[in-house]
């Protein structure tokens, strides 16, 4: 059997021809994380089903899981192959909802820590679009401190019984599986008492409630777990070793749009607004000849160029081993800051239209809502404050931030109004 890998240029030509023949043209500025009030529930579910179908088309054509091993349904190719595929699919339809977090970080975590049976059972299903996964990570009581999870998992024979709540899960109401961090040991410091599990979302004991945001969006959800039984065979990693899994999990989350595992059009970002969007807003309002507006567009373009340069530099450094994987926080920090600034630039260009708008205002109609929601990109996916801590402590080697609970058994850490297992 030949093990020769197809060269990148012939792969590009083959992929480009298939994309042009099978996927309709689509605005590639579509964003995978910008939260806007959009379609009806019925239309959203139909869009999810369509993206499942597109993901299956990619799988059947040999273009899903380009960098995943062949034994798990992938193509066993290189990041260079994924990069050119992302370039070729730019301007065409792609299954955005199925890339994050299903493929990365969830399938990536399975690839890193899952058992052989777990990988064989779930990774091909994810790559085919049959399973959509979500992250059950953040909790109402812990904010950015993921390790302070209060969701409990108690051993009961061959099962674990989970109780607690997770929050800020985008799209949980239409998804299939959750990757869940839970506390399994209260008698050790918080980082050493966590375990990761996977569980079906649509089951008794999992109550998914949607959260209405400031702009009317209801994409975010909160989940309540009540005596949810999970077999030990669905545990990922070692018992009480969840922080080891979680650290890698958050690495995959930070590098999302530069990850070699996901299919996204080139230039896809967290913010959903780039220099091109600024030009569209200015053009729709007849302000392209205004020098102040051109300065704002220029600032946005420079930020965009620097952001992509940083992502490329950090990605190459991590891949070569010259930078540790915690350096992904550098890209996360700059991307978050850039996204918030770009929303502000668009709002400044829109002027009064950003404060009072109508649907007829075209590209400018979203500027006000986007400005009000601009900080969401600095919070979701790990806050920028946490990224700064990671950079200072784990990349630059600066002294660790003082913590009063570092060596304290978690059950002894003061928590206002909470109960302890």
Whether the CB-CB separation of 221 and 172 falls below 8 Å is answered with: yes
The tokens of 222 are what?
């909160």
User: Which CATH architecture fits 269-395?
Assistant: Up-down Bundle (1.20)
The token pair that represents 362 in the structure block: 């075209």
* Domains of the chain, residue spans: 19-130, 135-241, 269-395
**Integer Cα distance of 173 and 223 in angstroms:** 9
pLDDT by residue for the chain (421 residues), tens digit each?
A: 456 789 999 999 999 999 999 999 987 555 444 566 667 899 999 999 999 999 999 999 999 999 999 999 999 999 999 999 999 999 999 999 999 999 999 999 999 999 999 999 999 999 999 999 999 999 998 877 899 999 999 999 999 999 999 999 989 999 999 999 999 999 999 999 999 999 999 999 999 999 998 878 888 999 999 999 999 999 999 999 999 999 999 889 888 777 899 999 987 655 557 788 899 999 999 999 999 999 999 999 999 999 989 988 998 898 889 999 899 899 989 999 999 999 999 999 999 998 887 878 888 888 988 898 888 888 877 789 989 999 999 999 999 888 878 889 999 998 765 444 4
Q: Helix or strand or coil: residue 31?
A: coil
Instruction: Please give the pLDDT value at position 376.
Output: 83
**CATH architecture of residue range(s) 135-241:** Beta Barrel (2.40)
**Given the structure tokens 């699919």, which residue do they identify?**
89
CA separation for the pair 366, 358 (Å, rounded) = 9
Look up the CATH architecture of domain 19-130: Orthogonal Bundle (1.10)
Cα distance between residue 93 and residue 18, in whole Å: 12
Q: Say if residues 314 and 286 touch (Cβ distance below 8 Å).
A: no
User: Which segments within 241-296 are labelled E, that is strand?
Assistant: none
Q: What is the rounded distance in angstroms from the CA atom of residue 264 to the CA atom of residue 255?
A: 13
């Amino acid at each position: 059997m030949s093990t020769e890998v197809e060269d990148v240029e012939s792969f590009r030509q083959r992929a480009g021809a298939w994309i042009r023949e099978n996927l309709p043209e689509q605005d590639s500025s579509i964003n995978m994380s910008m939260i806007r009030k959009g379609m009806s529930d019925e239309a959203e579910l139909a869009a999810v089903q369509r993206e499942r179908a597109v993901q299956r088309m990619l799988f059947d054509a040999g273009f899903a899981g380009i960098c995943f091993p062949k034994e798990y349904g992938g193509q066993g190719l290189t990041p260079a192959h994924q990069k050119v595929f992302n370039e070729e699919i730019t301007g065409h339809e792609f299954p955005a909802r199925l890339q994050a977090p299903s493929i990365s970080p969830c399938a990536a975590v399975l690839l890193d820590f899952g058992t052989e049976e777990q990988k064989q059972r779930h990774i091909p299903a994810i790559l085919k679009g049959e399973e959509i996964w979500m992250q059950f990570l953040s909790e109402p009581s812990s904010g950015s401190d993921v390790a302070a999870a209060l969701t409990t998992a108690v051993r009961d024979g061959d099962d674990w019984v989970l109780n607690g709540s997770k929050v800020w899960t985008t799209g949980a109401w239409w998804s299939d599986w959750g990757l869940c961090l839970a506390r399994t040991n209260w008698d050790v410091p918080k980082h050493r008492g966590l375990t990761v599990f996977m569980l079906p979302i649509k089951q008794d004991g999992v109550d998914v409630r949607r959260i209405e945001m400031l702009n009317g969006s209801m994409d975010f959800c909160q989940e309540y777990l009540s005596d949810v039984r999970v077999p030990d065979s669905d545990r990922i990693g070692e018992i009480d070793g969840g922080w080891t899994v979680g650290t890698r999990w958050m690495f995959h989350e930070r590098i999302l749009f530069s990850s070699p595992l996901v299919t996204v059009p080139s230039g896809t970002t967290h913010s959903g607004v780039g220099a091109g969007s600024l030009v569209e807003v200015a053009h729709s309002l007849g302000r392209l000849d205004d020098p102040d507006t051109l300065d704002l567009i220029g600032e946005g373009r420079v930020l965009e160029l620097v952001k992509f340069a940083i992502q490329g530099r950090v990605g190459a450094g991590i891949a070569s081993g010259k930078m540790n994987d915690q350096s992904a926080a550098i890209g996360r920090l700059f991307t978050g800051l850039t996204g918030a600034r770009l929303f502000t630039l668009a709002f400044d260009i829109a002027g009064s239209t950003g404060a009072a708008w109508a649907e007829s205002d075209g590209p400018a109609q979203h500027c006000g809502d986007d400005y009000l929601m601009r900080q969401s990109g600095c919070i979701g996916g790990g806050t920028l404050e946490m990224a700064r801590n990671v950079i200072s402590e784990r990349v630059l080697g600066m002294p660790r931030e003082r913590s009063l609970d570092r060596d304290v058994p978690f059950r002894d850490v003061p928590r206002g109004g909470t109960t302890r297992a």
